[in-house]
Structure 1
Amino acid sequence: MKSQEELLEDWVHTLLQGFEITELSIDTNAILKVAGEAAHAVVRPAAPLTTFIAGLAAGLAAGSGQAPEAAAMRAALELAGKMAAAEADGTI
């Protein structure tokens, strides 16, 4: 039986192929970390919304030429994580 990590990696691979984004490497752990931070800082449903919006922001930045894809994704996840931490601290 596959581990949770293996199942997630397989799912990510399947999604990337389905969307024809096969050249991009995804840092699953970074995405899950931001999702967890958002879930704990706000409410659980904030996790998928946060990762979706971070992904959208990264895609827009990469698509407009503001940053390479990997850098755009790292920056979007970093900002989302900082915002979740600020929400948890009550500084937003």
Structure 2
Amino acid sequence: MNVLEEWTAQVCRELGIDPARVDRAAVLDLTRDVAHGVARPAAPLTAYLVGLAQGAGTAPPDVVERLSRMAKEWAEATADKPGDS
């Protein structure tokens, strides 16, 4: 078991979460997309907000894919254009 798996298992035990329900790859992909497309501090905040929405039952089924797409679109929309200062 690597450090990430061990940490995830320990946190799941502490929070009473079934580790089988955790899609670690999806969360890591989402935070990567947000960190690179928006800003690094937005990555953990976004993951936290997804967790809140999941817990409240308000997150759409495709929440991770939607937010990853939004982050990529954000990056494209805010990229410096040639000639911009």
Q: Same fold (TM over 0.5)?
A: yes
Q: Take 1:7 and 1:82, find their aligned partners in 2: how far apart are those partners?
A: 29
Quick one: which amino acid aligns to residue 85 of structure 1? K
Partner of 1:38: 34
Gaps of 5+ in 2: 79-85
| Residue of structure 1 equivalent to 2:74 | 87
Q: TM-score, normalised by structure 1?
A: 0.71
Q: Is the 8 A contact 1:58 1:76 kept in 2?
A: no
C-alpha distance after superposition, 1:39-86 (max 9, x if no partner): 01111111101111112112211xxxx7xxxxx585221222121112
Q: What is the alpha-carbon distance in structure 1 between the residues aligned to residue 32 and residue 53 of structure 2?
A: 19
Q: 1:9 to 1:46 in 2, by over 3 A?
A: same
Q: Which residue identity lines up with residue 83 of structure 1 in the other structure?
A: M
Q: Structure 1 stretches (4+) deviating beyond 4 angstroms?
A: none
Who is 2:81 aligned against? Answer: none
CA gap of 1:23–1:42, structure 2 versus 1, over 3 A, is closer
CA contact (8 A) 2:8 2:19 kept: no
TM-score (norm: length of structure 2):
0.76
Looking at structure 2, the residues matched to 16 and 25 of structure 1 have their Cα atoms a distance apart, in angstroms, of 10
**Superposition deviation, residue 12 in structure 1:** 0.9
Q: Report how many aligned residue pairs link the two structures.
A: 78
